[in-house]
Structure 1
Amino acid sequence: MNFEHLLQQVAFIHEIDKVKYIQRKTRLFNSDRNENDAEHSWHLAVMAMVLAGHSNEPVDTLKVIKMLLIHDVVEIDAGDVFLYDTIISHTNTEAERKAAERIFGLLPTEQAEEFTAIWEEFEAGETAEAKFARAMDRLEPLLQNVSNKGGSWREHHVTYDKVVQKKSIIQQGSQTLWDFAKALIDESVEKGILKKEE
Structure 2
Amino acid sequence: MAFCLEIDKEKFIGRQTYLSDGERKENDAEHAWHMAIMTLLLSEYANEEIDVLKTMGMLLIHDLVEIDAGDTYAYDEEGKKTQHARETAAADRLFGMLPEDQDSRLRSWWEEFESGDTPESRFARAMDHIQPLMLNAATHGKSWEEHGVHLSQILNRNKETSKGSSQLWDYAYENFILPNLAAGKITPDE
Give the TM interval when normalised to the shorter protein: over 0.9
Q: Which of 95, 112, 116 lines up with 2:103 in the alignment?
A: 112
Does 1:130 find its partner at 2:121? yes
Are positions 1:195 and 2:179 aligned together? no
Does the 8 Å CA contact 2:43/2:52 hold for their aligned counterparts?
yes
Match of 1:4 in 2: none
For 1:128 and 1:168, the matched residues in 2 are separated by 16
Q: Write the letter of the residue equivalent to 2:77.
A: T
CA contact under 8 A between 2:144 and 2:186: conserved in structure 1?
A: yes
Unaligned runs of 5+ in 1: 1-9
1:13-162 alignment, distance < 5 Å: 13-89=4-80, 92-162=83-153
Question: Whole-Å Cα distance in 1 between the matches of residues 125 and 82 of structure 2?
Answer: 13
In the alignment, is residue 175 of structure 1 matched against residue 169 of structure 2?
no
Aligned-pair Cα RMSD in Å = 1.2
The aligned residue for residue 5 of structure 1 is none
Aligned counterparts of 1:25 and 1:151: Cα–Cα separation in 2: 10
**How many residues are treated as equivalent by the alignment?**
189
Shift of 1:197: 2.2
Residues 34 and 134 of structure 1: CA distance in aligned 2, closer, same or farther (over 3 Å): same
Alignment of 1:186 onto 2:178: yes
Please state how far the C-alpha of 1:90 moved relative to its aligned partner.
7.2
Larger Rg: 1
User: What amino acid maps onto 1:17 in structure 2?
Assistant: D
TM-score, normalised by the number of residues in structure 1: 0.92
Please state whether the residue corresponding to 1:35 is helix, strand or coil. Answer: strand
SS of residue in 2 equivalent to 1:99: helix
Equivalent-residue separation in structure 2 for 1:62 and 1:164 (angstroms): 29
Which amino acid is 1:85 matched to? D
The runs of at least 4 aligned residues of structure 1 exceeding 3 Å deviation read: none
1:168 Cα deviation after fit: 2.9
Identity %: 45
Equivalents in 2 of 1:90, 1:124: separation in Å? 17
Q: Deviations along 1:79-127, whole A, 9 cap, x unmatched?
A: 0000011321177111111111110111111111111011000001100
Partner letter of residue 194 of structure 1? I
Q: Which residue of 2 aligns with 1:7?
A: none
Q: Which runs of 5+ in 2 are unaligned?
A: none
